[in-house]
Amino acid sequence: MRKLGESCDCNVTIPATSAGWDGSVRNVIPTGKRREAEGRVRTAASIRDSQVKWHHRGMTFSHQPRTVSGIQATSDSLHLGNYIGALQQFVVHQESHDAFYFIANMHAITVEQDPAELRERTLRTAAQFLAAGLDPEKSTIFVQSQVPAHSRLSWVLECTTSMGEATRMTQFKDKSAKQEHVSLGLLTYPALMAADILLYNPQMVPVGEDQRQHLELTRNLAERFNHRFGQTFVVPEPQILRTTAKIYDLQNPNAKMSKSLPSPAGRIDILDEPKALTKKIKSAVTDAGTEIAFDREAKPGVSNLLTIYSSLTSRPVEDIVDEYAGKMYGHLKVDLAEIAVEALRPVRERTLELLDDRAQLQRILDAGAAKADEIAEATLRDVFDRVGFL
């Protein structure tokens, strides 16, 4: 099992180089030997350049576009916002994309983590990926730290980033203001995210609104590198994830549901026991008055419950509001609790089954890392050659 590296969020229109699910990969050619092997091996740049020419001629490629995305392993369970806003979309994208999804354990250590806890949470997150419907026959599922090219490209991109750009990142300013000990990794986090993206040369990157600024930096770094060293990276376009399913904290409906908020009572976790989940929803903060209506400004609490209801049932919010006309908040909470329990039950049960066979879970992750590693190393060799590394 490899012990380095990483990856992030993206969509590509170049094909992956071949790697079997048995984890086998082709031998990596040292950068110093690259020129003598050019006649036998196509680099990532040569594959990309030829496809860009085809695209400009209006041709349609037979290969699926690529999508790459990741979630941090910073809690024992992913929450409902992760499930609706990310995992459900991952499952849809794997049907039409060459899909790569990773557990972001390297991004996780920008704040202090207990080593044993991080290992456990990494496996639990992987199990939840699979339980939610990701199929290792359709998606490449891996752990960041098993693909060394991500941290290596990150250093090159850090040297392309100015201090001003790094310190202007809103997330850095917000998070550093709340922490007594601010790690250098928190400052350079966007460069690592850029490496996660650019290694796979995506044309479109699915990100949440809160990551838009980081993606703009990624675009700037790609353009800057290309200008200095020649066309190397595709400059990705953002694909902002749908906002209709933005889930807020049950106890503070003006804050996004997050693993970082202090009270677990405000968070619906995928692995919550039915009784605990029901209690959280019944205890959710609502608003003044009794009318069940959707109004994010005047009624953030009940609007959040309606959004969750709509997301889990695929029903329009307007229809739900009509159904509960004249009813009390309590009626909505009771019904929503039952819906949430049944919607998450199969994911929870399947996760626990997968965690009973950790050897198989590790085999899936190792095979995914082998495939991701081969593709990432091809891009890295091209970058190293362009900057003058031996």
Q: Do residues 324 and 357 lie in contact, with contact meaning Cβ atoms separated by under 8 Å? A: no
Burial status of residue 38 (CB atoms within 10 A of its CB: 0-12, 13-18, 19 or more): exposed
Answer yes or no: is 74 a known binding residue: yes
Answer yes or no: is 209 a known binding residue: yes
Distance CA 268, CA 187 (A): 30
Q: Which of 138, 175, 279, 282 is catalytic?
A: 175
Q: Apex CA 129: angle with CA 125 and CA 133, to 5°?
A: 160
Answer yes or no: is 258 a known binding residue: yes
Answer yes or no: is 311 a known binding residue: no
Answer yes or no: is 304 a known binding residue: no
Structure-derived torsion over alpha carbons of residues 372, 216, 157, 175, reported in degrees to the nearest 10: -90
Residue 150 has which token pair? 């991500």
Phi, psi of 314 (to 5 degrees): 60, 25
Secondary structure of residue 390 in the 3-state scheme? coil
Q: Which of 138, 256, 279, 282 is catalytic?
A: 256
Beta-carbon count within 10 A of 180 CB: 4
Strand partners of residue 140:
100
Answer yes or no: is 257 a known binding residue: yes
Answer yes or no: is 260 a known binding residue: yes
Phi, psi of 64 (to 5 degrees): -70, 150
Answer yes or no: is 204 a known binding residue: no
H runs (alpha helix) in 162-268: 163-167, 170-178, 184-198, 212-229
Q: Strand 10-12's sheet: what is its strand order?
A: 139-143, 98-104, 66-72, 10-12, 202-207, 237-240
Distance CA 199, CA 236 (A): 12
Distance CA 355, CA 133 (A): 15
Which helix (H) or strand (E) element contains residue 280?
helix 274-282
Q: Which of 259, 299, 333, 371 is catalytic?
A: 259
Secondary structure of residue 316 in the 3-state scheme? coil
Answer yes or no: is 208 a known binding residue: yes
Answer yes or no: is 197 a known binding residue: no
Strand partners of residue 202:
12
Answer yes or no: is 73 a known binding residue: yes
Burial status of residue 365 (CB atoms within 10 A of its CB: 0-12, 13-18, 19 or more): buried
Answer yes or no: is 105 a known binding residue: no
Answer yes or no: is 295 a known binding residue: no
Burial status of residue 243 (CB atoms within 10 A of its CB: 0-12, 13-18, 19 or more): exposed
Check if 259 is active-site: yes
Answer yes or no: is 259 a known binding residue: yes
Answer yes or no: is 307 a known binding residue: no
Binding-site annotation, residues for ATP: 72-74, 81-82, 208-210, 247, 256-260
Binding-site annotation, residues for L-tryptophan: 196
Catalytic residue set = 175, 256, 259
Binding-site annotation, residues: 72-74, 81-82, 196, 208-210, 247, 256-260
